[in-house]
């Protein structure tokens, strides 16, 4: 798939990884529909894309509302053309121990990270089936491959999104629809500031250096044009951490248990 000339919907496009993806896709010639609740921030991203010679349309959307999601897809088709790419990026973190997290926070996070992504998929897949092509990109996390202390519920939501992507790939392969799961690690953005739960940094955040959101966006854009199904941003600690967990999960768990105990002291 080529980004140049394609139509892409990016959710959570007002900041962080979503904003970087929208800018990168626009720079590479995609027509981008920008979805988020912050209309002013979407207008700013739209202006940046247009100044660079691209085409973008801000569509303020709460993706936890399925009616607004349907409206997003129909507005994109009407003004930009049939949807070639959906980027399920909208999400929020939750920093709290499993036994102490607020039920309302857990429910709000799963509603955005999992259920909203499913609603977006259900809205665009009929369009992609009709044109016999399409790409769904799910922004998961390394935490969707490795269970991490203090962000267990967030990790579970990203495991769920990963399974949704893997299953969708099998179910829709006969319709020409591809699925890409992306596993960023620590990323420099407003994600930690906006997350639910306890203030302060999780144990892994105290030891790992973040990468720029722009690097994540470049990796994704390259992977789109190379027909990749799975994307890691960095070899270390992301890809090597996942490989180590698969080969020697007991050792990784021992390290993470020490991190968790250290955070409680």
Q: List, as one string, the DSSP characters of 101-163.
A: S-HHHHHHHHIIIIIHHHHHHHHHHHHHHHHT-EEEEEE--GGGTS--TT-HHHHHHHHHHHH
In the predicted structure, residue 97 carries a pLDDT above the cut 80:
yes
> What is d(CA 84, CA 137) in angstroms, rounded to the nearest whole number?
11
User: What is the model's pLDDT at position 16?
Assistant: 96
In the predicted structure, residue 48 carries a pLDDT above the cut 90:
yes
The residue among 251 and 91 whose pLDDT is bigger is: 91
User: What is the model's pLDDT at position 34?
Assistant: 98
DSSP secondary structure letters along 61-95: --TTSHHHHHHHHHHHHHHT-S--EEEE-----EE
User: What is the model's pLDDT at position 216?
Assistant: 96
- pLDDT category at 241 given cuts 50, 70, 90 is confident
The residue among 249 and 21 whose pLDDT is bigger is: 21
Examine the residue annotation and report whether 153 is marked as an active-site residue of this protein.
no
Domain ranges of the chain: 7-264
> What is d(CA 102, CA 108) in angstroms, rounded to the nearest whole number?
10
> What is d(CA 134, CA 82) in angstroms, rounded to the nearest whole number?
10
User: What is the model's pLDDT at position 263?
Assistant: 56
In the predicted structure, residue 203 carries a pLDDT above the cut 60:
no
pTM, full prediction:
0.91
Residue range 101-149, pLDDT digits in tens: 999 999 999 999 999 999 999 999 999 999 999 999 999 999 999 988 8
The answer to which of 35-49, 100-114, 192-206 has the lowest mean pLDDT is: 192-206
Q: Which of 25, 153, 154, 232 is catalytic?
A: 154
- pLDDT category at 9 given cuts 50, 70, 90 is very high
- pLDDT category at 164 given cuts 50, 70, 90 is very high
- pLDDT category at 158 given cuts 50, 70, 90 is very high
Which fold, 7-264?
A: Rossmann fold (3.40.50)
- pLDDT category at 3 given cuts 50, 70, 90 is very high
Q: Two tokens at 165?
A: 């992507």
The answer to which of 116-125, 162-171, 178-187, 233-242 has the lowest mean pLDDT is: 233-242
In the predicted model, what is the mean pLDDT of residues 194-206?
Answer: 69
Cβ(142)–Cβ(130) under 8 Å?
A: no
Beta carbons within 8 Å of 240's beta carbon, 6+ residues apart: none
In the predicted structure, residue 225 carries a pLDDT above the cut 60:
yes
DSSP 3-state of 9: strand
């Amino acid at each position: 798939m080529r980004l140049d000339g394609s139509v892409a919907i990016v959710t959570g496009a007002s900041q962080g990884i979503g904003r970087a993806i929208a800018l990168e896709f626009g720079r590479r010639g995609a027509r981008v529909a920008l979805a988020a609740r912050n209309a002013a921030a979407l207008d700013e991203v739209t202006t940046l894309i247009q100044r660079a010679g691209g085409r973008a349309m801000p569509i303020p959307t709460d993706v936890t509302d399925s009616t607004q999601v349907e409206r997003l897809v129909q507005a994109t088709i009407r003004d930009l053309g049939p949807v070639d790419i959906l980027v399920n990026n909208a999400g929020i973190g939750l920093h709290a121990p499993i036994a102490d997290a607020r039920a309302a926070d857990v429910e709000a996070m799963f509603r955005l990270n999992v259920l909203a992504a499913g609603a977006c998929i259900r809205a665009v897949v009929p369009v992609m089936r009709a044109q016999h092509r399409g790409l769904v990109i799910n922004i998961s996390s390394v935490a969707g491959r490795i269970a991490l202390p203090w962000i267990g519920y967030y990790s579970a939501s990203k495991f769920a999104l990963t399974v949704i992507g893997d299953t969708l790939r099998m179910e829709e392969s006969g319709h020409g629809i591809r699925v890409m799961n992306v596993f960023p690690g620590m990323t420099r953005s407003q994600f930690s500031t906006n997350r639910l739960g306890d203030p302060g940094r999780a144990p892994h955040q105290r030891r790992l250096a973040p990468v720029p959101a722009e690097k994540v966006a470049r990796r994704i854009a390259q992977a789109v044009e190379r027909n990749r199904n799975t994307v890691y941003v960095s070899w270390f600690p992301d890809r090597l951490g996942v490989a180590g967990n698969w080969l020697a999960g007991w050792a990784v768990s021992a390290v993470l248990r020490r991190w968790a105990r250290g955070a409680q002291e």
